[in-house]
Amino acid sequence: MRKITFLTLVMILGMSSVSFGKQYLCKSKLAIGIFPNYGKNDCKKGCWGIQGFSALDYLVKTDALDLKIMSVYQLGGKEENKKSNHLCVTQESNDYYDPGSESYLEISETRGKILTCRSTRSGEKRTYFEFEFELESDYWSANYMVGNPLQFIARGICEEI
């Protein structure tokens, strides 16, 4: 009976690590917004403004082998905006699954293994959110295109939790 219990536990724990994967807390060191500055200070078309923002932190879930990002969740905000904080959800079993999201592993000669996740809005082909996570250095970057000219950029470091 002990052998059966032990084997059952080994199978359950082994399967849970494969199905649940890893989680990373990604804290930003830099967060800025880039926006058009038309009409200010005699600025004509082509002038841009830059503004610093409070930290943008993310919870990133990957598969167990760090071959794919399963979801990126922006921490903070109001409870009623919870759905919009789920970015790059590639896991179909999740309530917030977005068919416009894709994730893949890229291997760079200079930066090593990089997990990338991109999301497009339904009906559009342009990327509106991109998250890159360098597995070997734990650096991450996120680019969020809010409108046509408006963009937020954040950079930081992740740690496994």
Range of the domain at 62: 21-160
pTM (2 d.p.): 0.74
pLDDT the model gives residue 17: 40
Least confident residue range of 69-73, 107-111, 138-142: 107-111
Question: Does any domain span residue 118?
Answer: yes
Looking at per-residue confidence, does 27 or 41 come out higher? 27
From the centroid of its chain, how far is CA 122? Answer: 18
Question: Does any domain span residue 10?
Answer: no
pLDDT the model gives residue 7: 46
Q: CA angle at residue 141 from 45 to 84, to 5 degrees? A: 80
Q: For residue 57, what is the domain's CATH number? A: 2.40.160
> What is the arithmetic mean of pLDDT over 120-133?
80
Question: Does any domain span residue 11?
Answer: no
pLDDT the model gives residue 4: 54
Q: CA angle at residue 150 from 90 to 146, to 5 degrees? A: 30
Question: Does any domain span residue 104?
Answer: yes
Domain count, the chain: 1
Looking at per-residue confidence, does 23 or 7 come out higher? 23
pLDDT the model gives residue 147: 66
What are the pLDDT digits (tens) for 51-88? 777 777 899 999 888 898 998 988 887 777 777 788 88
d(CA 72, CA 33): 20
